[in-house]
């Protein structure tokens, strides 16, 4: 971690929702998802919010030696977003507790607030993390 990793870091990330990030694409193996409307899937929304948090703090850690993994998410999904709309995630680092990072997150699709909440990430040493995964597979 660098000395610049402190609460108050803000980041805005934009993404145009493609058809490949809609509910039918979430689990194409699941017939139940395939027949659902083509709107942004909550699962992909969560990933988008995580992506914004990663981009916010990567300049403040020893990337790629240090990385972060999501450990908790508590967000709403308040409005449907069809493909073609641009979504904007706004994230703010609100707490640094050792290697635990806490973010306030929000997303908007240009028409509606689509999500708001809180997300936690944990700073890992990539090599040690991969080694532990290897042990788990054994």
**Residue 50: active-site member:** yes
Nearest one of 43, 82, 62, 54 to 3, comparing CA atoms: 62
Q: Which of 38, 42, 88, 90 is catalytic?
A: 42
Q: Which of 13, 50, 68, 119 is catalytic?
A: 50
Q: Which of 77, 81, 108, 119 is catalytic?
A: 77
> CB neighbours (10 Å) of residue 121?
23
Question: ∠50-46-15 over CA atoms, to 5°?
Answer: 75
What does DSSP assign to residue 53? H
Active site residues: 42, 50, 77
């Amino acid at each position: 971690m660098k000395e610049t990793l402190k609460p108050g870091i803000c980041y805005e990330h934009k993404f145009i929702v493609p058809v490949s990030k809609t509910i039918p694409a979430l689990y194409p193996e699941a017939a139940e998802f395939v027949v659902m409307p083509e709107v942004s899937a909550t699962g992909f929304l969560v990933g988008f919010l995580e992506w914004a948090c990663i981009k916010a703090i990567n300049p403040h850690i020893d990337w790629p030696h240090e990385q972060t993994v999501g450990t908790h998410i508590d967000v709403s999904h308040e409005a449907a977003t069809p493909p073609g709309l641009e979504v904007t995630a706004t994230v703010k680092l609100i707490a640094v507790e050792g290697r635990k990072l806490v973010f306030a997150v929000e997303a908007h699709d240009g028409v509606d607030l689509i999500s708001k909440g809180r997300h936690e990430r944990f700073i890992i040493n990539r090599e040690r993390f991969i080694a532990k995964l290897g042990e788990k597979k054994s």
